[in-house]
Amino acid sequence: MACTCVVGLQWGDEAKGKIVDLLTAQHDIVVRYNGGANAGHTVVKNGRTYKLSLIPTGILAPHMQAVIGNGLVVNPVRFLEEVDALRAAGIPIDGGNLLLSDHAHVIFPYHVEEEKLGEEASAAAIGTTGRGIGPCYQDKVSRTNGIRVGELLHPAHLRERLRSIVPRKNAVFRALMPSAQQFDADALCDEYLTHAGKLKPHIHDTALFLHRALQGGKNILFEAAQGSLLDVDHGTYPFVTSSNSSTAGIWPGSGVPARHLQRVVGVIKAYTTRVGRGPFPTELTDGPDGIGERIRKTGREYGTVTGRPRRCGWFDTVAAKHSARLAGADELAVMLLDVLSVVDELRICTAYELDGKRLDEFPGDAFLLEQCRPVYETLPGWKTDIERARGPGDLPAAARRYLDRLSELLSLPVTIVSVGPDREQTVFMT
Ligand code: IMP
């Protein structure tokens, strides 16, 4: 029995989906434990591109059962859209291979409106994905307004809950902005009961399902969403998402006890990206002809969910060391190394400077990180196409040196290197 977690060590979009896909052969069940349809996972398999937001990417392997754990916030419309898209692509989906926790929380349209009002009104807007993630988690924690997936199966109860919640939401929205959207509890209830009929075969007590699977010797793969630096407790607060996107989210978000986790693959991009607002010390802001733009174009660095251009910058070992420790990472998967082939000379941030002093550890607060200046070391680039590399020996010496330096600075072995989106474009280093 083995439990593995694939977790991003930066601000998300580390191409975790490809690593999940590579590891499915050794696992039986794949579990998402945090977030919702704010995640965007792209997997290229057999020449076909799959884009998933809510459903674990591991479902693309025919033998896998996929679980959407209790730690998620689920928009039923998005769930059903993804199911339809997978079926249209020839992936069979039913209640047996896609399980949805009865304790996951439900996103309603008023959550999306609430987020819009909050982001528009605030000078300290976070630059969220606009999917209602934060407000739904707020309702979960505040308890009086939270609705869980299992409640959708009880029509009279659901109607009563919505009749109590919706007028209060409407009143708050009106007070914030007279033109704010208003909602009708009964209409929402009718709509969500229709969704519930389609969700029903998938709804399970997934914590119990996972406990039984562990007892039966099954191997579980946890698929984190977002990156560890967006973790609500350990990331660059307040510019974070509303869940525990590091491995810290596994236990509350799935119900699987911590001691079962045996392997943590920390996924990093060979450089750094970030979408939305928040501090980013190594960001390249060198204009339309600069290296930042070259990386963005070559790496197709545009948000999967929102289409926003991602901010691009050099690799930051201070940040990645912090999240690797937090994750308990055993090894590193370095993604998109091929993108750096367009750069003549590479930089790696090895420390920060704050108030004239060197800082080797990651400050836990955004307002401090904003004042940090990166300290760089420079390495030669390789300026040659590496997309066809399949073994460590195929990589140019400068690329191996770059990987060795990342490994040394993070005190972790690099086991997998990705040199392109296809499954075959992978170098196993050991
Ligand atoms: P939210 O998760 O929509 O509340 O957004 C909070 C912050 O997390 C914003 O900066 C988003 O851009 C960022 N974010 C959320 N999901 C992802 C993701 O899957 N990849 C990268 N950034 C994300």
Distance 69 CA to ligand 1 centre (A): 19
Residue 129's Cα: distance from chain center in Å? 12
**Side-chain-facing half-sphere of 84: CA atoms under 13 Å:** 7
Output the DSSP codes for 96-128. Answer: TTEEEETTSEEP-HHHHHHHHHHHHH-TT----
Question: Is residue 133 lining ligand 1, measured as CB closer than 6 Å?
Answer: yes
What distance in Å separates the CA atoms of residue 89 and residue 195, rounded to the nearest whole number? 22
Measured by CA distance, the residue closest to atom 15 of ligand 1 is 38
Q: Domain 105-198 falls in which CATH fold?
A: Adenylosuccinate Synthetase, subunit A; domain 2 (1.10.300)
Buried/exposed code over 90-112 (b: 16+ C-beta within 10 A; e: otherwise): ebebeeebbbbbbbbbbbbebbb
Distance 296 CA to ligand 1 centre (A): 18
Residue 6 three-state SS: strand
Q: Domain 268-428 falls in which CATH fold?
A: Adenylosuccinate Synthetase; Chain A, domain 3 (3.90.170)
CA-wise closest residue to 103 among 145, 64, 152: 152
Question: Is residue 132 lining ligand 1, measured as CB closer than 6 Å?
Answer: no
Ligand 1 nearest-atom number relative to CA 133:
4
Rounded to whole angstroms, what are the CA distances from 129 to 86, 116, 272, 308, 310? 23, 10, 19, 9, 13
Cα dihedral 65, 305, 140, 278 sign: positive
CATH 3.40.440.10 fits 3-102+204-264, yes or no: yes
Model-level pTM? Answer: 0.95
Output the DSSP codes for 176-194. Answer: H-TT-----HHHHHHHHHH
- Label the pairing between strands 41-45 and 48-52: antiparallel
Catalytic residues: 13, 41
Q: Give the gyration radius of the chain's Cα atoms.
A: 22
Question: Is residue 39 lining ligand 1, measured as CB closer than 6 Å?
Answer: yes
Q: Which two tokens stand for residue 206?
A: 């997934």
Measured by CA distance, the residue closest to atom 11 of ligand 1 is 128
**Boundaries of every domain in the chain:** 3-102+204-264, 105-198, 268-428
Ligand 1 nearest-atom number relative to CA 134:
4
Contact 39, 68 (CB under 8 A): no
Question: Is residue 244 lining ligand 1, measured as CB closer than 6 Å?
Answer: no
Cα dihedral 312, 314, 315, 320 sign: negative
Question: Do 3-102+204-264 and 268-428 show the same overall fold?
Answer: no
Question: Is residue 304 lining ligand 1, measured as CB closer than 6 Å?
Answer: no
Measured by CA distance, the residue closest to atom 19 of ligand 1 is 39
Residue given tokens 């010496």 in the structure block = 397
Question: Is residue 13 lining ligand 1, measured as CB closer than 6 Å?
Answer: yes
Contact 89, 76 (CB under 8 A): no
CA-wise closest residue to 93 among 54, 53, 66, 68: 66
User: pLDDT digit of tens for each residue in the chain (430 aa)?
Assistant: 689 999 999 999 999 999 999 999 999 999 999 999 998 888 887 788 888 999 999 999 999 999 999 999 999 999 999 999 999 999 999 999 999 999 999 999 999 999 999 988 777 789 999 999 999 999 999 999 999 999 999 999 999 999 999 999 999 999 999 999 999 999 999 999 999 999 999 999 999 999 999 999 999 999 999 999 999 999 999 999 999 999 999 999 999 999 999 999 999 999 999 998 999 999 999 988 999 999 999 999 998 878 889 999 999 999 999 999 999 999 999 999 999 999 999 999 999 999 999 999 999 899 999 999 999 999 999 999 999 999 999 999 999 999 999 999 999 999 999 999 999 999 999 8
Contact 298, 312 (CB under 8 A): no
Residue 125's Cα: distance from chain center in Å? 20
Beta bridge partners of 359: 352
pLDDT at 1: 60
Q: Which residues contact 122 (CB under 8 A, 6 or more apart)?
A: none
What distance in Å separates the CA atoms of residue 69 and residue 363, rounded to the nearest whole number? 31
Query: Does the bond joining 309 to the residue before it have cis omega, within 30 degrees of 0?
Result: no
> What region does 110 belong to: left with phi over 0, alpha with psi -120 to 50, or beta?
alpha
Ligand 1 nearest-atom number relative to CA 275:
12
Distance 387 CA to ligand 1 centre (A): 29
What distance in Å separates the CA atoms of residue 236 and residue 154, rounded to the nearest whole number? 39
DSSP 8-state class, residue 387: T
- What are the phi and psi torsion angles at 124 (to 5°)? -100, 40
pLDDT at 378: 98
Question: Is residue 75 lining ligand 1, measured as CB closer than 6 Å?
Answer: no
